Structure 1
Amino acid sequence: MERNEEYNPNLLILIMTIGTFGILSTELGVIGILPQIAQYFNIGINYAGLFVSSFSITIAISSLFIPLIFSKYDIKKVFSLVLSIFVICSFVSALYKNFYIAILCRIIPALFYPAYISLSLTVAAEIVPEEKATESVSRVMMGVSAGSIIGVPITTFMATVLGFKSAMLWFAVVNLIALIATLIFFPNLPGNPTSYGTQISNAKTRLFLVSCLGVFVLLTGICTSYSYMSQFLQTITHIIDLNLSITLFLFGIASLFGNWAAGKLLVSKPNQTVITYPFITAILFILLFYYCNKVIPTVLLMIVWGFLDGLVNNIIQYWIVSAAPDAPEFANGIFISVLNIAITIGTSIGGFIIVSYGTVYIFIGSLVISLLSLIFLALRVRINPDYTK
């Protein structure tokens, strides 16, 4: 894709940021309402967890091929199709109180999710000068951060105050706004004619494999506790209702600052930023383990965690895509796949820990797994120590 002076890159980035916010809100907003989902459908919390895991598993699989398939088509048409599917499925979930229909309405949009996220990250890097690509991507990633974090407290508030249906309608409305903006303001942009085989060949390197493994282990560790954030805040810290929404909102605001900081750090000191991250999160998990039964320390630690969460969204995308710069659509697809496999496995590990040992021990699980990622992160640096782009 070539830069074109006829369109405003800042406007396109804003629209894609709104789109990623809506889509990520739909994906991860349910994390904050798993107890409400269980109550609404009269099911166990483990079955409510399928709202998270079914979405993540579907994305993990479809991310391997959907971005490559859709990358050759007009970007505006692809974005409009994906957002339309999200709007329709969210409305259906609000209208029908049926657990199986609700799960189906999670799986269908998840199939097309990678097309929007992967292509938006690729487009963001290609519509600006090369020296601004990392910063441009970080701006779209701000939509990812806002969707995954700010979307959680908004969804939690809607479900707590107005009920499950209102939360589903919130998903529909925010995606509808992105769809309308895309239809009106987004120009027709040609896709990437590069063949599937060429992109895959460009990514078949030791550097790419090690980068993916490092990101996978790190994210699995984080998601072991992240997926049950609402659970531990309610059951251990006893932060509930409006206070829960406020706490998660503070988490989200902090993540936006982390997202901004990541754009700067990954340009100036990429390797140091990535290698240092697991150590900092390890300290955070230790502090949460000891202080999660105290409200004020926990809220302060949640703000720190929010900042770190904003960092990690950019770190994982950068770490994978920079290992295969000649295959951006494929690399972004793998990034999404690794992210969602890690969410699924981390959620499963966290659930096992909660059932077997208690909620508070999810932080020990996160601590151990996150530190294990250093093996692969350090190996990546050793393979390519001078990489600074």
Structure 2
Amino acid sequence: MYSNKPFFTYAIALGVFGITNTEFGIVGILPKIAEHFQISVSQAGMLVSMFALIIAIFGPFMTLLLSGFNRKRVLISVLIVFTIANVFSAFAPSYEALMIFRLLPAFLHPVYFSVAFAAAASSVPKEQSAIAVGKVFTGLTIGMVLGVPITAFIGDQFSLAIAFLFSAVINAIALLGIVIFIPTLPVEAKLSFGKQLTVLKKPQLWLTIATACLFLASLYSVYSYFAEYLQVVTGMSGKVVSIMLILFGASGIIGNIRAATYLSRNMLKTTILYPFVLGIIYLFVYYMGSYTIPMIIIILLWGAVFTGGLIVSQTCLTSEASEAPEFANSLFVSFANLGVTIGTTSGGWFLSQIGVHSIIWSGIVFLLLGLSCIVVKIKFFDSNKRSQVSNEVHQ
């Protein structure tokens, strides 16, 4: 099924932005939530960690459960739930009620992503699928990087309720776009649960899952403490750091598109080169981090490479389970969240035990582990790809 409608992927991407903003945007208003409900900031932080935990645990199972339903109806249903949940969150009478309104849509978060990636990939010829998925990833990039400062600004300028209603409006607009621009998406060949689960028997899939998880851990072991690093090491003020976050996100959008293009040309070569490129960026951050002007240039490059890691990980994982694309995408979403948790924890340990400057080495360690998984996979399971790499080296 190839779509001729120009707004197909953009409508889906807007939904990705709305859902991602629902997950991460709340980070920018945690102090206001703590003040409003008279709780500690760490207690308010449970609204974020519990959301991610539900995604990591239930993602694949929820996707399997809904895998036989019309994809368009699934996308619409998920956005309806997210819209209503954000409206209820805006007027939650207590912290406990807010927690419930937050956690209920979390069960459907990975379902939307899984269906969105699969629908985007199937809407174009196979050789263009990475580019189509890259457009959807743009919504994820904007939601992850710009959602926090945007939501924080709205919360500061208006109110806590308006900040939640912002996410509700975005999800509602995306819902309308999907209703108008996306044709019906029936499941042409429904796979049984057992058939989809058989992909888990492939050892090369688990190596790819490990690679994706380690790449995400590398990204977030450093990025989670981005603001702290710039303030302590580079000596930037809070306002300048906010500008750097926006700059990081803007370059990330461009990097997302470029990574999709490279993947469509040569997925294997792009995947192998990625950890080397990110590793070089990390070394620049470590050795040039105390210089403001060089650091601004590095941030532009860092943002572009950062978002490239998301689509590289997703494309590699789904390519190993092409017979069950939605289930494979749900595995990516779940293990990506696990990678974020591992990376954030590791980076926090490096920061507290050795110092903020040392978090770069946490990222490099995970990169090396991810690269090792790629090498093992190619050596033992991809003899044809090994020949491909050999030919590319000699060219």
With normalisation by structure 1, the TM-score equals 0.89
CA shift at 1:281, angstroms? Answer: 2.0
Structure 2 Cα separation of the partners of residues 113 and 322 of structure 1: 22
Aligned equivalent of 1:124 = 120
Amino acid at match of 2:118: T
Amino acid at match of 1:176: A
Summarize deviations over 1:323-349 as a string: whole Å, max 9, x none: 111111111111111111111222223
CA shift at 1:275, angstroms? Answer: 1.9
2:109 is the counterpart of 1:113 = yes
Equivalent of residue 336 in structure 2, options 334, 339, 342: 339
**Conserved in 2, the CA contact under 8 Å of 1:210 and 1:376?**
yes
Aligned equivalent of 2:392 = none
2:137 is the counterpart of 1:167 = no
Summarize deviations over 1:168-216 as a string: whole Å, max 9, x none: 2222221121112223333322135111111221342121111111111
Aligned equivalent of 1:185 = 181
2:96 is the counterpart of 1:100 = yes
Equivalent of residue 176 in structure 1, options 169, 172, 179: 172
Summarize deviations over 1:115-167 as a string: whole Å, max 9, x none: 11100111111122222222222221222222222323322433444454443
Question: For residues 173-322 of structure 1, what are the structure 2 equivalents within 5 Å?
Answer: 173-191=169-187, 192-233=189-230, 237=234, 239=236, 242-322=239-319
CA shift at 1:386, angstroms? Answer: 3.5
Structure 1 Cα separation of the partners of residues 235 and 46 of structure 2: 25
**Conserved in 2, the CA contact under 8 Å of 1:21 and 1:146?**
yes
Structure 2 Cα separation of the partners of residues 194 and 79 of structure 1: 19
Are residues 102 and 31 of structure 1, via their aligned partners in 2, closer, same or farther at CA, if it must alter by over 3 Å? same
**Conserved in 2, the CA contact under 8 Å of 1:218 and 1:369?**
yes
Structure 1 Cα separation of the partners of residues 32 and 288 of structure 2: 26
Structure 1 Cα separation of the partners of residues 34 and 320 of structure 2: 41
Structure 2 Cα separation of the partners of residues 58 and 255 of structure 1: 27
Structure 2 Cα separation of the partners of residues 48 and 294 of structure 1: 35
**Conserved in 1, the CA contact under 8 Å of 2:249 and 2:303?**
yes
**Conserved in 2, the CA contact under 8 Å of 1:76 and 1:187?**
yes
Summarize deviations over 1:65-94 as a string: whole Å, max 9, x none: 111221211222211211122112222222
Structure 2 Cα separation of the partners of residues 8 and 269 of structure 1: 25
Secondary structure, counterpart of 2:6 in structure 1: helix
Structure 2 Cα separation of the partners of residues 25 and 362 of structure 1: 26
Aligned equivalent of 2:59 = 63
Aligned equivalent of 2:73 = 77
CA shift at 1:236, angstroms? Answer: 5.2
Structure 1 Cα separation of the partners of residues 266 and 122 of structure 2: 22
Structure 1 Cα separation of the partners of residues 315 and 330 of structure 2: 13
Amino acid at match of 2:86: S
Are residues 174 and 240 of structure 1, via their aligned partners in 2, closer, same or farther at CA, if it must alter by over 3 Å? farther
Question: For residues 16-95 of structure 1, what are the structure 2 equivalents within 5 Å?
Answer: 16-32=12-28, 46-95=42-91
**Number of matched residues?**
384
CA shift at 1:47, angstroms? Answer: 3.8
Amino acid at match of 1:349: S
Aligned equivalent of 1:362 = 359
Aligned equivalent of 2:9 = 13
CA shift at 1:60, angstroms? Answer: 0.9
Summarize deviations over 1:291-315 as a string: whole Å, max 9, x none: 4454433333222221012211110
Amino acid at match of 1:384: D
**Conserved in 1, the CA contact under 8 Å of 2:127 and 2:264?**
no
CA shift at 1:97, angstroms? Answer: 6.4
Are residues 9 and 28 of structure 1, via their aligned partners in 2, closer, same or farther at CA, if it must alter by over 3 Å? same
Structure 2 Cα separation of the partners of residues 118 and 201 of structure 1: 18
Aligned equivalent of 1:327 = 324
Structure 1 Cα separation of the partners of residues 85 and 299 of structure 2: 32
2:185 is the counterpart of 1:154 = no
With normalisation by structure 2, the TM-score equals 0.87
The structure with the largest alpha-carbon Rg is 2
Amino acid at match of 1:322: S
Are residues 293 and 28 of structure 1, via their aligned partners in 2, closer, same or farther at CA, if it must alter by over 3 Å? farther
Amino acid at match of 1:315: V
**Conserved in 2, the CA contact under 8 Å of 1:19 and 1:175?**
yes
Secondary structure, counterpart of 1:373 in structure 2: helix
Q: Where does the alignment leave 5 or more consecutive residues of structure 2 unmatched?
A: 389-395
Structure 2 Cα separation of the partners of residues 68 and 202 of structure 1: 13
Summarize deviations over 1:86-109 as a string: whole Å, max 9, x none: 112222222236433333333221
**Conserved in 1, the CA contact under 8 Å of 2:215 and 2:309?**
no
Which runs of structure 1 show a deviation greater than 6 angstroms over 4 or more consecutive aligned residues? none
Are residues 8 and 108 of structure 1, via their aligned partners in 2, closer, same or farther at CA, if it must alter by over 3 Å? same
Are residues 164 and 290 of structure 1, via their aligned partners in 2, closer, same or farther at CA, if it must alter by over 3 Å? farther
Structure 2 Cα separation of the partners of residues 54 and 269 of structure 1: 38
**Conserved in 2, the CA contact under 8 Å of 1:152 and 1:248?**
no
CA shift at 1:239, angstroms? Answer: 4.5
Residue identity (%)? 33
